[in-house]
Chain A
Amino acid sequence: MHFVRPSGRGKINTEAIKIKKTRRVIGSILRAILLVGIGYIILYPLLFMLTMSFMTYFDIVNPAVVWIPREWVLTNYRNALELLNFNTALRNSVELTLGTAFLQTLSCALIGYGFARYKFFGRNFLFALVILTLLVPPSTVVISQIIQMRFFNPFGLFGLVGAEPMNLLNRRAALFMPAALGMGLRSGIFIYMFRQYFRGQPKELEDAARVDGCGHIGIFARVMSPNAGSIYLTVLLFAIVWNWNDYYSVIMFVDRMRTLPVALAFMRDTLRQASQVAHLGIVAADPYTQAASLMAGAFLSLAPVLALYVLLQRYFTESVERSGIVG
């Protein structure tokens, strides 16, 4: 008769646990080194910007001062706030960004869902068109797009009722309407993301909801969407960041609404001219202080999005653990 000696088993087990433990420790050390290393490389320009924005002229030209200014000053920020016309620019940015981002997320979710869950005539062709909208370099079509917004007359319908073509330039609609119709900034990628996600959902979920008397919109809004939290949030985040940073469509279509990036570009130009004229009331003429003010302005224009990410981040990690009906 053979018995397994309990002591032997116990020995092997503790050893296995030990090996597992050391492996885990080594793994987390490697991970820490990797993340800190890459993190440093990524953050370098941001840190550079941040520390320079607090420096005086003397600290910037002093080669002994590398990261930490000898004297912390806020004058650069004061200059930037004034030159950016910060409050107005911030309001414009928030208004345009939130409007376009929410419209874009909603419309792309609907469109992506349609492509993912339904079969209809011409579906693949239409989806190829979605990708095409992404691939056409914006510079090739932008001039006709401006003209189209200036004399907006969809399908000549305004002519039928005897109305004049509308001028949509400098109206929020010039940005909101494309966003609502899946033609916003990089909307194609968002449509694609939603399509890929919804395509992966089990058919049983849909069937069950249909048996329970749920309509098409109901299935979309109450069965499929609640599970897609992380995709919705990612798309919303990208939409906010890209629209926030978007410079070209703002100056093309709504140039009277000066958003933060546009204001920043103007600030740069103002400073550039000022350095030629050699003095400008509030900013010292030397290029170093001007660069520092510009850094302060750049940081101010990024700060809201950065803060938003830190806030949303929590939901980003939790969204799925809370909803468990998939599978």
Chain B
Amino acid sequence: MKKLFTMERRWGLAGLAFVSPFILGFLMLFLFPVIQSVRRSFFEFISLSEGREVLEYVGWGNYADIFTRDPDFPQLLRDYFVMMLPQLIIVLIFSMFIALILQQKFRGRTLARAVFFVPVIISSGIVMSILGNDLTNQAAQESTAIFMANNRVLADLMIDAEFAAPIIDQVIGIVSQIFDLAWRSGVQILIFLAALISIPQSFYEASKIEGANSWSTYWKITFPMVSPFILVCVVYTIVDSFTDYDNELINYIYDTIRNLFYGTASAMAWVYTLSVFVVLGVIVGLISRRVFYMVD
């Protein structure tokens, strides 16, 4: 007869104990709302009578509707993924690059790091919406909203310096893209930076003694050591796009809720969630084969 508590089992139980807060939280706080919302996607709202909703069971009807009857949803879903993938790659490369620069020793590093942290603070808050789109009234908005799209001072400077109009357009276009990129990458830069900092210095010393140049040091030491965090950044970048004010798919779902099609909206939200989950699974599966963990 096998022993009930082998070494391995006891070890596993300890692992479960570490994870148990999550299990408890998931069962207690998350599972029920999710079930409710899934259930909801199989019903259609009919009317309100005496403060209670009247619902009709429609089976998979809502799901069939959003793909066959809805004019926009399939297109929006496709657009979302077509947009997301290139953006993901650009954000990852940019934030890794900036993190590598910010890790170097130079004068003013503290200040530079503080500057790149600003987007993390501002972009996740109400301040962004105040700066961005709803100032107290139109007149004041005109003077502030400009910075979101392009850079007034820079444009003025270039007009004064008598640059040709197409060049100004080009430069302003690049600047506003960098603006967008820098604002999207704040968190990723910090995650990479933390990963870079946690690489033991002794590795670099060893490679220096072996005579490695910085290129091979990067690919043989820095990149493998940081690679587990590339996955984290992939997940974060995708999750972050949920709360984007210009995520058209989410806005479309909100509009559907506002028009009282709760069932349809729930179905949309679940199709969206599950397709993101699947795409994420594929991406993570592809990357994680190349990810290096020191133990394995």
Assess whether B201 is interfacial by the CB under 8 Å rule. yes
Q: Which single member of A120, A139, A326 contacts B257 (CB below 8 Å)? A: A139
Q: Which single member of A49, A120, A139, A272 contacts B269 (CB below 8 Å)? A: A139
Interface pair B13/A28, CB less than 8 Å apart: no
Complex Cα–Cα for A46 and B116 (A): 12
CB-defined contacts of B242 to chain A, threshold 8 Å: 135, 137
Assess whether B280 is interfacial by the CB under 8 Å rule. yes
Complex Cα–Cα for A271 and B101 (A): 43
Secondary structure of the A contact surface, majority rule? helix
Complex Cα–Cα for A247 and B199 (A): 36
The smallest C-beta distance from B205 to any residue of chain A, in angstroms, reads: 11
Interface pair B273/A136, CB less than 8 Å apart: yes
Given contact pairs A135-B239, A291-B136, A234 touches B194 in the complex (Cβ within 8 A): yes
Interface pair B277/A131, CB less than 8 Å apart: yes
Interface pair B121/A268, CB less than 8 Å apart: no
Complex Cα–Cα for A225 and B195 (A): 15
The smallest C-beta distance from A7 to any residue of chain B, in angstroms, reads: 25
CB-defined contacts of B28 to chain A, threshold 8 Å: 154-155, 181
Assess whether A209 is interfacial by the CB under 8 Å rule. no
Binding stretch for chain B, among A10-18, A70-78, A186-194: A186-194
Chain B interface residue count: which class?
35 or more
Produce 1/0 per residue, B242-277, CB < 8 A to A: 100000001001100100000001100110110011
Produce 1/0 per residue, A295-311, CB < 8 A to B: 00010011001100110
Assess whether A278 is interfacial by the CB under 8 Å rule. no
Interface pair A141/B34, CB less than 8 Å apart: yes
Q: Size of chain A's interface in residues, with CB distance under 8 A? A: 116
Closest A residue to B294 by CB, please name it.
A200
Assess whether A290 is interfacial by the CB under 8 Å rule. yes
Interface pair A114/B19, CB less than 8 Å apart: yes
Complex Cα–Cα for A193 and B115 (A): 23
Interface pair B17/A114, CB less than 8 Å apart: yes
CB-defined contacts of B265 to chain A, threshold 8 Å: 140
Interface pair B116/A126, CB less than 8 Å apart: no
Assess whether B80 is interfacial by the CB under 8 Å rule. no
Assess whether A89 is interfacial by the CB under 8 Å rule. no
Closest B residue to A63 by CB, please name it.
B143
Assess whether A281 is interfacial by the CB under 8 Å rule. no
CB-defined contacts of B13 to chain A, threshold 8 Å: 120
Given contact pairs A118-B18, A193-B191, A241-B120, A140 touches B269 in the complex (Cβ within 8 A): yes
CB-defined contacts of B124 to chain A, threshold 8 Å: 241-242, 245
Complex Cα–Cα for A110 and B277 (A): 25
Interface pair A120/B22, CB less than 8 Å apart: no
Complex Cα–Cα for A107 and B235 (A): 20
Q: Which single member of B136, B187, B238 contacts A294 (CB below 8 Å)? A: B136
Complex Cα–Cα for A242 and B144 (A): 25
Complex Cα–Cα for A110 and B144 (A): 45
CB-defined contacts of A150 to chain B, threshold 8 Å: none
Q: Which single member of B21, B23, B110, B294 contacts A180 (CB below 8 Å)? A: B21
Interface pair B110/A313, CB less than 8 Å apart: yes
CB-defined contacts of B98 to chain A, threshold 8 Å: 38
CB-defined contacts of A113 to chain B, threshold 8 Å: 18
CB-defined contacts of A37 to chain B, threshold 8 Å: 178
Binding stretch for chain B, among A94-102, A159-167, A314-322: A314-322
Given contact pairs A144-B36, A196-B229, A41 touches B277 in the complex (Cβ within 8 A): no
Interface pair A31/B106, CB less than 8 Å apart: yes
Binding stretch for chain A, among B43-51, B55-63, B66-74, B127-135: B127-135
23 A-B pairs (CB sep. < 8 Å) = A34-B101, A38-B98, A41-B151, A45-B147, A118-B18, A126-B19, A131-B280, A135-B276, A137-B250, A139-B250, A140-B265, A140-B269, A144-B36, A183-B30, A196-B228, A196-B229, A200-B294, A202-B294, A264-B127, A294-B135, A309-B114, A316-B113, A320-B200
Point out residues on A near B: beta carbons under 8 Å.
28, 31, 34-35, 37-39, 41-46, 48-49, 52, 60, 66-67, 107, 110-111, 113-115, 117-121, 123, 126, 129-137, 139-145, 148, 154-155, 177-178, 180-183, 186, 188-189, 191-193, 196-197, 199-203, 216, 220, 227-231, 233-234, 237-238, 241-242, 244-245, 247, 261-262, 264-265, 268, 271-272, 275, 287-288, 290-291, 294, 298, 301-302, 305-306, 309-310, 313-314, 316-317, 319-321, 324, 326-327
